[in-house]
Amino acid sequence: MAATSHPLFGSTALRALEHAAQSALPPHTLMPRAAQAACLLILQRWRGRPVTILCGPGNNGGDGLVLARLLNQASVPVRIWALNVDKRPADAERAWRDLPRGLLQSGDPKGDAKGAVIVDALFGIGLHRDLDADTRRWLAWANEQEGAVRVALDIPTGLDADTGEAREGTFMADVTLTFLRDKPGLHTRSGQDHAGEVVVDMLGTDAVTAALPSDDQSIGTGNLIRRADCKTLFVSRKHDTHKGSFGTLAVLGGGHGMTGAALLASRAALHLGAGKVFVGLAEANPALSCDLLQPELMLRPAASLLGKKDAGIGVWVVGCGLGTDQGAADWLAATLHAARETPTVVDADALILMAANPKRVPARKAAWVLTPHPREAAQLLGCDTAAIQANRVAQARRLAAKYSAWVVLKGAGTVVSSPDGRWSVNGSGNAGLATAGTGDVLAGMIGALLAQGLDMDDAVRGGVWLHGAAAQDLSARGIGPIGLTAGEVIAAARDLRNRPENGVT
């Protein structure tokens, strides 16, 4: 996959970037540029509305103070409330001295702000503590104003820029104007609920920061996966092809009462373009010999499929509805042994079994993908789910390093990590995916892309993006997010692959 045009910088990388910019630019440059960017956004989108700005004690508050001055010069009605502070940073103090008279209000924010623009300039990315009582009270007022537009400068106050953790009372932005570079916390965990639309302004530092090693993991940089990064999904097929041109995939799962999970993964693989799909059912005496809804799938008892040496299987997907009893553990061990030289996607119950029986996981010669949700990731790492959610990027990278695997840590803002630590946060998806079976569909989709010859980078990141984009596309057509089903995601994903002009980004 080519380098993305939308990098994500963690706080360590942002500090390095800001230091480089401040060293190269004249003093007092970044704050006026940030305020100017915010002023232009407000004038372009909400000209004529009054503006209320909540300012904190640091440079984020300084951005708000300069913004107030610029809006006042543009004849926009402005009110400011500023938290009491004994000392401000130099740039913020300069902005305070230049603030026109009559804009600063006393006491707590009050009044009906319906129709106004409320700007959160309280705290930026450096806040690493719970919000104090005054800040929570001010944010509660802002969040309760119906009909107002809420704009956050750099990051909504209370949201962690690295992890997406939202502290009690976090600002609920409709738009977040973030500076220098985008942040992972705006796109994972609670970030999407609090940031709204994310607009990035680099403040004219492109040339200054171009020399920074944007792919250097030591400074904490990653990527946001967008449509532009998934071009290999939309490469047209030549006429002179046959089913063997697009690979043979095998799904092993479907223990007692869970046949549907294996079928969802298999149907997804078929609809995403795999040439042939075998389904190995782990149930002792599977009653199903044919999928009546998808008779193209080739169903076999698991033992028969594992013993079929001449099937030409190029990719395995294992775990969907497999179960976690001793029989399932034996099936997993047998499958991982058979697939040790074949690209493999490991999902669901297989991950739980791996965590419980690490000695039964053979050494691998081919790349593989682990697709855990947070509880499964916690079991694989020997911690609790809260630890996974506390820093999803760091834990996905830790898991990838431990198993020398590609990792897809599912959830709001799915995180993808390669074995060497390169990471991305998915930019597509919605709450419609929070339903049974969508993880099975994702496993089948990734497997299908691998079977068709996409490299691991393109298949994993592209599959994750397409999975989320399908849910978005369905919702845009009035199907979900409430009540969206995993089976509907399959058809929508196929539709998107065949509609390269679709507008989902």
Q: Which range marks the domain in which residue 32 is found?
A: 7-225
Same domain, 203 and 347: no
d(CA 159, CA 427): 18
* Annotated binding-site residue numbers for K(+): 60, 120, 157
Same domain, 221 and 266: no
Please provide the distance, in angstroms rounded to a whole number, between the alpha carbons at the two ends of the chain.
16
Binned at pLDDT 50, 70 and 90, residue 490 comes out as very high
**Residue 24 pLDDT:** 86
CATH number of the domain where residue 414 is located: 3.40.1190.20
- Reported as a single tens digit per residue, the pLDDT across 197-253 is 999 999 998 877 655 555 545 447 899 999 999 999 999 999 999 999 999 999 999
Pair of tokens at residue 429: 């998806």
> How many domains is the chain built from?
2
**Residue 140 pLDDT:** 97
Q: Domain for residue 235, yes or no?
A: no
Average pLDDT on 447-463 reads: 97
Catalogue the long-range contacts made by 352-358 (C-beta closer than 8 Å, 24 or more residues apart). 352/324, 352/376, 352/379, 353/319, 353/322, 353/324, 353/328, 353/329, 354/380, 355/379, 355/380, 355/382, 356/324, 356/329, 357/329, 357/332, 357/333
pLDDT of 454 over the 90 cut: yes
Q: Which of 225, 254, 269 is at the close of a domain?
A: 225
Q: Domain for residue 389, yes or no?
A: yes
Same domain, 254 and 218: no
d(CA 41, CA 119): 12
* Annotated binding-site residue numbers for AMP: 410-414, 439
Same domain, 379 and 321: yes
Whole-angstrom CA distances from 54 to 111, 244, 403, 420 are 14, 62, 47, 42
Same domain, 181 and 253: no
- Reported as a single tens digit per residue, the pLDDT across 386-437 is 999 999 999 999 999 999 999 999 999 999 999 999 999 999 999 999 999 9
**Residue 63 pLDDT:** 97
**Residue 212 pLDDT:** 59
CATH number of the domain where residue 76 is located: 3.40.50.10260
Q: Domain for residue 2, yes or no?
A: no
Beta bridge partners of 59: none
Q: Domain for residue 502, yes or no?
A: no
Same domain, 254 and 194: no
Same domain, 413 and 271: yes
- Reported as a single tens digit per residue, the pLDDT across 314-357 is 999 999 999 999 999 999 999 999 999 999 999 999 999 999 99
Nearest residue to 251 (alpha-carbon basis) of 467, 446, 494: 446
Same domain, 322 and 367: yes
Average pLDDT on 257-269 reads: 96
Instruction: Read off φ and ψ for residue 281, nearest 5 degrees.
Output: -95, 125
- Reported as a single tens digit per residue, the pLDDT across 161-203 is 999 999 999 999 999 999 999 999 999 999 999 999 999 999 9
Average pLDDT on 474-491 reads: 97
Q: Which of 225, 253, 287 is at the close of a domain?
A: 225
- The secondary structure element, H or E, covering residue 76 is none
- For residue 74, how many other CB atoms are within 10 A of its CB? 12
Q: Domain for residue 240, yes or no?
A: no
- Reported as a single tens digit per residue, the pLDDT across 61-114 is 999 999 999 999 999 999 999 998 888 889 899 999 999 999 999 999 988 899
In the chain, pLDDT over 90 holds for what percent of residues?
84
Cβ atoms of 413 and 450 closer than 8 Å: no
Q: Coil, strand, or helix at residue 424?
A: strand
Residues in Cβ contact with 381 at an 8 Å cutoff, skipping those fewer than 6 apart: 387, 388, 395, 398, 399, 402
**Residue 189 pLDDT:** 95
Same domain, 314 and 454: yes
Q: Write down the number of H helices and E strands in the chain.
A: 17, 17
Q: Domain for residue 234, yes or no?
A: no
pLDDT of 272 over the 60 cut: yes
* Annotated binding-site residue numbers: 59-63, 120, 124-130, 154, 157, 261, 321, 373, 410-414, 439-440
Q: Specify the amino acid at residue 253.
A: G
Same domain, 123 and 209: yes
* Annotated binding-site residue numbers for (6S)-NADPHX: 59-63, 124-130, 154, 261, 321, 373, 440
d(CA 348, CA 57): 47
Q: Domain for residue 177, yes or no?
A: yes
Q: Domain for residue 505, yes or no?
A: no
Same domain, 198 and 294: no
Same domain, 216 and 252: no
pLDDT of 285 over the 80 cut: no
